[in-house]
Amino acid sequence: MTDAVLNHLTASNIFDLRGVVAVVTGGGSGIGLMISSTLVANGATVYIVGPKQADLDRFAHTYNEAASQDPRKGRMHGIEGDIRLKSEATRLAEEIGKREKYLTVLFNNAGVLQGSYEPPTEATAASYVASHFDRVTQENFNNVINTNSIGPYWLSFAFLPLLEKWKKSEDPATKKFLPQIIMTSSMNGWTKDSNTAGRSYPYMFSKSAIGHFTSSLAHELLPLGIRVNGIAPGLFVSQMSAPGMVDPVTGASHLPQGATFPLEVPAVLGSNRDMGSLALFLVANWFVNGETVLIDGGTLLKHPSSY
């Protein structure tokens, strides 16, 4: 009796992702890799999307070799693609549709940070114009917003039919998880302190936009029973936050001994355990919808923000 009442509530049952099929854009590095490797560790089949097939294949090989020791682990596959483009969203959904019957979860995670200003040298209008206007290009805004906000729009709709197929399938695994789209937003969608955003206004604009898209798309998709949620990270070590620190074999980034970020983070830096456990929670949970979860070690408790 006790077993029957409690067994379905054990972590090993709730987070057993065997049968789950996931797509993680930018899943070969940084935060995306923290998510994709955690999903594989718990049994999912994961497609990582990025700009270079060779990089994706190398990282996938590393995790698949580790996973091959244990039949409960999943597998990672790389598919090259440029997530900014509508045509690529269609192609990626078609490509994955040829390999899989359905999709459980799409992580719109890939992102870029460009168009940073240098702090003004003095409190004059001329100095602010030189730092915030002259240094930042139209192309910076276009690229950041196309990657961080518009690409997820194309991908979310291009993958809807595969997410709907998960919901309609009779396969046992499909009864355990609900189809979902999960955006990687940022604390920078809410911050009022551009220092927390690498001093990039294009980046802050793009992250506010994806936050609004998360809740409005969740509303839009209610009739389909496909949930939409978001993850709003604070500082995590990645190619974006610590360029040049990527391990060529594992894809993971690490700060050199003693190095720190020029930004006050109350907690120790976020790890793959932190990001992975949040991803697991969102995939396994059925009731959270339209929500963006802040995971920043308390950074926005220190810096002005509203959310």
Residue numbers at the binding site for ligand NAP (CB under 6 A):
25-26, 28-32, 49-52, 55, 81-84, 109-112, 147-148, 184, 186, 233, 235-236, 238-241
Is the Cβ of residue 70 or residue 94 nearer to ligand NAP in the bound state? 94
* Cβ-based neighbour number of residue 136 at 10 Å: 18
Is the Cβ of residue 128 or residue 153 nearer to ligand NAP in the bound state? 153
Burial (CB < 10 A; 0-12, 13-18, 19+), residue 47, is buried
Is the Cβ of residue 190 or residue 236 nearer to ligand NAP in the bound state? 236
- The SS3 of residue 209 is helix
CB of 107 to ligand NAP, least distance (A): 10
Task: State the residue for tokens 């089949």.
Answer: 45
Q: Which of 80, 74, 91 is nearest to 25 (CA)?
A: 80
Instruction: Compute the Cα dihedral for 287, 291, 292, 294 and give only its sign.
Output: negative
Q: Cα–Cα distances in Å, from 70 out to 60, 106, 168, 287?
A: 16, 25, 30, 31
Task: State the residue for tokens 């456990």.
Answer: 277
Q: Which two tokens stand for residue 204?
A: 């802050």
CB of 302 to ligand NAP, least distance (A): 15
Which residue number has the CB closest to ligand NAP? Answer: 30
- Write out the DSSP string of 244-284: T-B-TTT--B-PPTT---SS--SSSPB-HHHHHHHHHHHHH
Contact 214, 227 (CB under 8 A): no
CB of 68 to ligand NAP, least distance (A): 24
Q: Cα–Cα distances in Å, from 50 out to 45, 55, 57, 71, 169?
A: 17, 8, 10, 27, 29
Is the Cβ of residue 62 or residue 241 nearer to ligand NAP in the bound state? 241
CB of 52 to ligand NAP, least distance (A): 5
CB of 183 to ligand NAP, least distance (A): 8
CB of 111 to ligand NAP, least distance (A): 2
CB of 13 to ligand NAP, least distance (A): 30
CB of 57 to ligand NAP, least distance (A): 12
In whole angstroms, give the CA distance from residue 269 to residue 253. Answer: 12
Is the Cβ of residue 154 or residue 177 nearer to ligand NAP in the bound state? 154
Contact 25, 210 (CB under 8 A): no
Is the Cβ of residue 112 or residue 136 nearer to ligand NAP in the bound state? 112
Is the Cβ of residue 38 or residue 148 nearer to ligand NAP in the bound state? 148
Q: Phi/psi at 170 (nearest 5 deg)? A: -100, 0
Is the Cβ of residue 71 or residue 244 nearer to ligand NAP in the bound state? 244
